[in-house]
Amino acid sequence: MNNQSFLLQPFPGTGQLLNIEIAGKIARIANKLTIEYTLVGDITEIAIAPPSATPSRKHELWEDTCFEFFLGMQNSPRYWEFNLSPAGDWNVYRFDDYRQGMQEEKAFITLPFIVQQQGDSLQLNLDFDLDKIIPKEQALEVAITTVIKRRDGEVSYWALTHRGAKADFHQRDSFILELIS
């Protein structure tokens, strides 16, 4: 399927949860990927970085509130991790296998996306071409995730599914959406 809606679930037992919902849509048309996250609810308790004057590639965005997704090529251990900060900062990492061979993906020199915050909602939209990393005919396996950091420092992990005893977005069996071109 090329156009799918999603609803993320918090990892069980990650402390006091906020009254929020993280939903969205993902689509692949030809070799262009579009993903939209919508965070709704009591977002006043979430640590959300203010917009950056000059959004750029940054490391360790997952240590704060960060929207993430993972793309894996079907029948291959290789995958990519995309990190998108509400501040506009970003990064993309390539892995050869489960948490192995992590490298910054140099195929992307920018990854512009739009963040809008209004009242009790925050929306993030990203559109980009996959041509630089994935052939058009290659089927994709996708995991969609989010790290939410509360103002008090407590962190919760949200995903389509949680397959292990601890929150681990890299587990390949959690790449449960399939996108074909």
pLDDT of residue 122: 97
pLDDT for 16: 61
Whether residue 145 has pLDDT greater than 80: yes
Domain 3-10+19-179 class? mainly beta
pTM for the full model?
Answer: 0.96
Whole-number Cα distances in Å, 11 to 70, 80, 103: 17, 22, 27
Q: Is the pLDDT of residue 15 over 70?
A: no
Structural domain spans, the chain: 3-10+19-179
Distances (CA, A) of 159 to 10, 54, 67, 180: 7, 29, 10, 21
Rounded CA-CA distance 93/116 in Å is 25
- Contact call for residues 20 and 148 (beta carbons, < 8 A): yes
Q: In the structure encoding, which two tokens stand for residue 146, read together?
A: 């989010």
Q: Which amino acid is at 16?
A: Q
> What is the residue-averaged pLDDT of the chain?
94
Q: In this predicted model, what pLDDT tens digit does every residue of 54-101 receive, in sequence order?
A: 999 999 999 999 999 999 999 999 999 999 999 999 999 999 999 999
pLDDT band at 155 (very low <50, low <70, confident <90, very high): very high
pLDDT at 1 (0 to 100): 54
